[in-house]
Amino acid sequence: MHRRRVIGPDGQEQVEEVVACPAERGSVDVRRCQQCGHGTSPVYDEAMGCVVVDCARAVRPPASVENDRGVCAPRTTSIATLFTRDVICAEPATPAARMTSAVHEAEVGAFPVVDRARMPIGIVEVRQLLAAPPGAVVSDVMTPRPLRVRDEVSVARAAAMMAHNRVHHLVVIGEDGKLLGILSSLDICRYLSEESGAIVPRTSVSKRPSLDFGK
C-alpha cells in the first residue's frame, strides 16, 4: 500500500491511498480493496518497510534466483523494497512556487508530475524548481516523458538505466501504468551500503548529529 500526495493547481493537497491489486493488474483504492474480501487488513511489514495488504489471489514469485556462481543480490533483488511509496507529486498546472515549499518540507530531490488519471507525464528536480521564473507552473519546468520502471525490475537493471541515461530518479509504475512511487540513486546507494553491512541513517542530514573527524 502506498500514499500519493497530489498538489493541484489551487495549491490544495489530495491524499490518495492505493494498493496493488493482482486481479485488476494495477492499483486500486484501499477502500475498494477492502470491499473485495480477498485481502487481509493492512499491516506494517518490517521487511518491506511499508504497510501491506496480503491478497489471496496474489501469485508469489520465488524469493531468489540462484545459479552455479551463487546469488548476485542486485541482479535478483527487485526495487520493490527500495523505492519511495509515499510520494509527493503535482499536476501540470500546479504553481512551481507551491512545489518549492512542498519539496523542501518533504526533503526530496525530485517529484513526479501526473495527469488526472494519475499517469506519470513528467518529472521535476529541485534544480529545475530553483531556476523557475516567477509565475511559472510545473509544466513549464518539468522534464516530459520520464523514465519509467515496473516495481519488479531488479536493482541492477534500474542502476544501469540511471547510469546509461545520466539521471538520478526513475518513476515506478504498476502494470496499469499508474504511479506507484519514485526510485532515486540514493535509494540504490543505501541498499548497496546495507548489503555490505554498513549502517545508513534514514534521517535527513539536517536532523543528524554532526560528526567532527578532525579532533
pLDDT digits (tens, 9 = 90+) for 155-181: 988 999 999 999 999 999 988 888 999
Backbone angles phi, psi at 52, to 5 degrees: -125, 155
* pLDDT band per the 50, 70, 90 thresholds, residue 184: very high
Q: Which residues are CB-neighbours of 160 under 8 A, at least 6 positions away? A: none
pLDDT digits (tens, 9 = 90+) for 59-72: 444 433 333 334 45
What mean pLDDT do residues 25-41 have? 64
E strand spans, the chain: 2-7, 13-21, 26-29, 43-45, 50-52, 87-90, 110-114, 120-125, 143-144, 148-150, 169-173, 179-184
3-state secondary structure of 122: strand
Q: Does domain 2-59+71-195 have CATH number 3.40.50.2300?
A: no
pTM: 0.65
What mean pLDDT do residues 102-117 have? 88
Check if the beta carbon of residue 111 is closer than 8 Å to that of residue 182.
yes
More confident residue, 11 or 78: 78
Widest distance between CA atoms in the chain = 61
pLDDT > 80? residue 112:
yes
Q: What is the mean pLDDT of the chain?
A: 75
